[in-house]
Copies of this chain bind each other. A is one copy, B any other.
Amino acid sequence: MYGAGFQTYVTLNELTNHLCGISRPTHFRGVATVVTKLFHIVQPHVAIFGQKDYQQLLIIRRMVRDLNFDINIVAGAIIREPDGLAMSSRNSYLTTEQRASALSIYRFLLKARTLIQCGTTNASEIITAGSEIITAYPDTKIDYIVVCDPDTLEDVAEIDRPVLVALAVKVGKTRLIDNMILARSP
């Protein structure tokens, strides 16, 4: 995929400066570049990207619009295990104890949903609740918990519209991500 003298990259500005882009500064440049290569090789009419990698989905959509790719990007819903853990090839790395700790991620998202549906408008309350829930489980380390705009990924302080609640947590050595779009009940 990367021959001698390779030097061409597809880069995005604002969208890559949030969430996973902070701890992985060149990751999305790699994603955008290799997806561009794949699109040119395969020339698909439709491409499906999972909503679990929400930032990746947003970046691919933005790239497709900005660079006039003639491709329809479809979001694939998050599929969860019966207990709620988002499916991921990485889940197979977890020990039994880590698998139990990984569930803290979904527990927090359910808690955030309840809080927001019931009228909590202060994003920092959501984030504090997340810290408390996740650190109560052994072998967890929070990379980030954010309440942000679903289109720009910019932090939202007051929840007065639908928000993306997204987080990345290291469970042992395995980094897991998950998210939900949440809004106050009508």
Contacts and interface: CB of A to CB of B under 8 A. Distances in A.
A6 to B, nearest CB: 5
A75 interface: no
A40 interface: yes
A70 B2 CA distance: 16
Interface string A12-24: 1111000000000
A1 to B, nearest CB: 8
A3 interface: yes
A78 interface: no
Interface of A: 2-3, 5-15, 32-33, 36-37, 40-41, 43, 62-63, 65-70, 152
A62 B10 contact: no
A29 to B, nearest CB: 9
Contacts of A7: 12-15, 62, 66
User: Which of A11, A12, A67 gathers the greatest number of chain B CB atoms within 10 Å?
Assistant: A67
A6 B41 contact: no
A5 B65 CA distance: 10
Nearest to A37: B68
Given A40-B67, A40-B70, A65-B3, A8 B10 contact: yes
B62 A41 contact: no
A63 to B, nearest CB: 5
Contact of A10 (B2, B10, B152): B10
A12 B29 CA distance: 12
Given A2-B66, A8-B67, 6 more contacts: A5-B62, A7-B13, A8-B66, A10-B11, A33-B67, A36-B67
